[in-house]
Amino acid sequence: MKIEVFPNGIYGAITYLVYDEESKEGAIVDCTCDIEEIEAFVQKENINLKYALITHGHFDHVYCLSDMKDKFVQTQILMNKNDLELMENMPIQCQMAGIEYMELPCVDGLVDENSHDLKLGEKEIKIIHTKGHSKGGLCFLIDNVLFSGDTLFQGSIGRCDLWGGSMEEIGESIKNKLFALDDEIVVYPGHGDKTTIGYEKKYNPYFGSNY
């Protein structure tokens, strides 16, 4: 499995492209930046972009979805039903952020922890519902890599003062779900540098054991 990082999204949000080297099936996690660079890489590597996996419905993580769908009509946009309200209220989100409103394409499918049929080649995409930053926040686990969206960062956690946020819920999500994963799992967050589950279990200043 290969991972490409596109870090130049609005407000520093990151788009990840993950793909299976054998089957050339791939997915992007969130869609935050200029799609031309992603399109060029997909064409160069002959990747079949099956999915756009949306960790949550805040504007900075879906800002370029329309451009993506124009380029990759067959790519399925997948997210959790509990964040559809955020998508429906995108004009308000954009107004609050002081940015130009962007049209959004229709979501192609709704997924949750009972969705077990998502694969890239033979590699299963496991879905972890992590409420707290938003009601419909999702993390995606593929092999030993976790795409954590804005739930867990290197040395931090996602904000809980935004629409649908809850400090209690994000704590439950991180401690009971993410910290139950193997220490060696590498975490690719929605903003900032990668980390590991083991490091955050020890040193995260919100929920780490050393604090």
- The predicted-structure confidence for 83-120, as pLDDT tens digits, reads as follows 999 999 988 888 888 888 888 999 999 999 999 999 99
For the cut 90, the answer to whether the pLDDT of residue 152 exceeds it is yes
For the cut 80, the answer to whether the pLDDT of residue 211 exceeds it is no
Confidence of residue 59 (pLDDT cuts 50, 70, 90): very high
Q: Which residue has the tokens 């993580």?
A: 61
126, β-bridge pairs: 141
**Per the domain annotation, does 165 fall within a domain?**
yes
Phi-psi region of 20 (alpha: psi -120 to 50; beta: other; left: phi over 0): beta
* Residue 66 domain boundaries: 2-203
Widest pairwise Cα distance in the chain = 47
At position 22, the amino acid (one-letter code) is: E
**Per the domain annotation, does 210 fall within a domain?**
no
For the cut 90, the answer to whether the pLDDT of residue 34 exceeds it is no
Positive or negative: CA dihedral 189, 195, 201, 207: negative
User: What pLDDT score does 99 carry?
Assistant: 87
**Per the domain annotation, does 211 fall within a domain?**
no
Judge whether 112 and 128 are in contact, CB under 8 Å: no
Please count the structural domains in the chain. Answer: 1
- The predicted-structure confidence for 124-140, as pLDDT tens digits, reads as follows 999 999 999 999 999 99
At position 67, the amino acid (one-letter code) is: D
Residue 16 backbone dihedrals phi, psi, to 5 degrees? -110, 140
Provide the 8-state DSSP code for 75: P
**Per the domain annotation, does 153 fall within a domain?**
yes
**Per the domain annotation, does 27 fall within a domain?**
yes
**Per the domain annotation, does 208 fall within a domain?**
no
Judge whether 28 and 15 are in contact, CB under 8 Å: yes
**CATH number for position 78:** 3.60.15.10
User: What pLDDT score does 100 carry?
Assistant: 84
Residue 87 backbone dihedrals phi, psi, to 5 degrees? -65, -40
**Per the domain annotation, does 86 fall within a domain?**
yes
Judge whether 28 and 13 are in contact, CB under 8 Å: no
**Per the domain annotation, does 190 fall within a domain?**
yes
- The predicted-structure confidence for 196-209, as pLDDT tens digits, reads as follows 999 999 999 999 99
